Amino acid sequence: MSELRVARRYARALLRAAVELGVLEEAESDVRGFYELLRSSKDLRSFLGDPTVWPKTKAHFLENLLKGKVNRTTLDFLLLTVAKGRSELFEDVLREFGEMLDEHRGVIAAQVRSAVELSPEQKARLEERLSAYSEKSVRLEAVVDRTIKRGVIVRLGDMVFDGSVEAQLRRLYKSWIGA
């Protein structure tokens, strides 16, 4: 089974458990915090991903690191993942959990790349239009990309809207030459 499929199964299990036990907000906070910790610590990623380190050693370490700082459901899930020998998938599992949580809540992520920083008004207007288009609540992430000359490129789920000047010129050129 592919690692991504395994990560999705684990993420789905955590989401179900958190919903059933009524600790979804706590699990979300725990997952975000642990994900950031993993992303910021190469040593932690190496340790948890090292197949030569015994799962019991990893579990003991995680329990000491996180006990009292995360919800018991989240900690039990992390310890189970370690016991099953899947701790190298933590980043994928936690990322998948975030995506499934958004889907559960009817939220879709949108990434906007622009040449300049968008104003709060522009972001709000764009969020509103994307929400109307997708019929979902939109969580907007805006990034400045100096390679774009003017305009914006928006990724909404699997769709890409290229409103950059370069793309508009390309479309105009193709319409002139009849392609």
- pLDDT per position as a tens digit, 31-88: 999 999 999 999 999 999 999 999 999 999 999 999 999 999 999 999 999 999 999 9
pLDDT reading at 28 higher than 70 = yes
Domain with CATH 3.30.1330.20 in the chain: 107-177
Closest among 103, 114, 102 to 142, alpha carbons compared: 114
Buried b (16+ CB within 10 A) or exposed e, 60-82: eebeeebeeebbebbbebbbebb
Out of 3.10.20.600, 2.60.40.1220, 3.30.10.20, 1.10.520.20, select the CATH number for domain 3-103. Answer: 1.10.520.20
How sure is the predictor about 25, in pLDDT bands with cuts at 50, 70 and 90?
A: very high
Distance from C-alpha of 86 to C-alpha of 72, rounded to nearest angstrom? 19
Q: For CATH 1.10.520.20, list the domain ranges present in the chain.
A: 3-103
126 token code pair: 């764009």
Sign of CA dihedral 6, 135, 104, 125: positive
pLDDT band at 1 (very low <50, low <70, confident <90, very high): low
Q: How confident is the model at residue 179 (pLDDT cuts 50, 70, 90)?
A: low
* Conformation bin of residue 106: beta by default, left when phi > 0, alpha when psi is -120 to 50: left
The rounded distance, in Å, linking the Cα atoms of 70 and 146 is: 39
Rounded CA-CA distance 18/48 in Å is 23
Q: Which CATH architecture group holds 107-177? A: 2-Layer Sandwich (3.30)
Give 62-130 as a DSSP string: HHHHHTTTS-HHHHHHHHHHHHTT-GGGHHHHHHHHHHHHHHHHTEEEEEEEESSPPPHHHHHHHHHHH
130 strand-pairing partners: none
Do the bridges between strand 137-144 and strand 107-114 make them parallel or antiparallel, or are there none, so unpaired? parallel
